[in-house]
Amino acid sequence: MKKIMLASALLCGSALAMTGCQSTEGQLKTGNPLNQPALKSTLKTTDDSNQEVGQVYLRPVDGGVQVYGKLMNMTPGKTVALHIHETGSCDVMGKAAGGHFNPDNHPHSNPDDMNGHAGDLPNLTANDKGVATINYVNKQISAAQAGKYSVYRRAFIVHAGADDYTSQPAGAAGDRIACGIIEAN
Ligand SMILES: [Cu+2]
Which CATH number do you get for residue 47? 2.60.40.200
In a domain, 3, yes or no: no
Residues 58/38, Cβ–Cβ less than 8 Å = yes
Q: Residue 66: enclosing H or E segment and its boundaries? A: strand 64-71
Q: How far is the CA of 11 from the centre of ligand 1 (A)?
A: 27
Model pLDDT, residue 46 = 97
Question: Within 13 Å and on the Cβ side, how many CA atoms surround 119?
Answer: 32
- Cα of 152 vs centre of ligand 1, distance in Å, is 16
* Helix (H/G/I), strand (E/B), else coil: 180: strand
Query: Is residue 102 within 8 Å of residue 109, measured between CB atoms?
Result: no
- In angstroms, what is the span from residue 120 Cα to ligand 1's centroid? 8
Output the pLDDT for position 30. 44
Domain span at residue 96 reads 34-184
- Inside any domain, residue 127: yes
Q: What is the spatial distance between Cα 71 and Cα 64, in angstroms, rounded to a whole number?
A: 22
Does residue 52 form part of some domain?
A: yes
- Position 102 scores a pLDDT of 97
Say if 28 falls within a structural domain.
Answer: no
| pTM for this prediction | 0.82
User: Measured in angstroms, how far is the CA atom of residue 14 from the centroid of ligand 1?
Assistant: 32
Task: Give me the phi and psi of 14, to 5 degrees please.
Answer: -85, -65
Chunked in runs of 10, what are the mean pLDDT values of the chain (185 residues)? 42 38 50 73 96 95 91 96 98 97 96 94 97 95 96 98 95 96 96
**How far is the C-alpha of 149 from the C-alpha of 140, rounded, in Å?**
7
DSSP codes of every residue in 1-63: -HHHHHHHHHHHHHHTGGGT---HHHHHHH--GGG--SEEEEEEESSTT--EEEEEEEEEETT
**Residue 87 domain flag:** yes
Our count of domains for the chain comes to: 1
Contact 176, 157 (CB under 8 A): yes
Give me the pLDDT at residue 70, please: 94
Q: How far is the CA of 159 from the centre of ligand 1 (A)?
A: 6
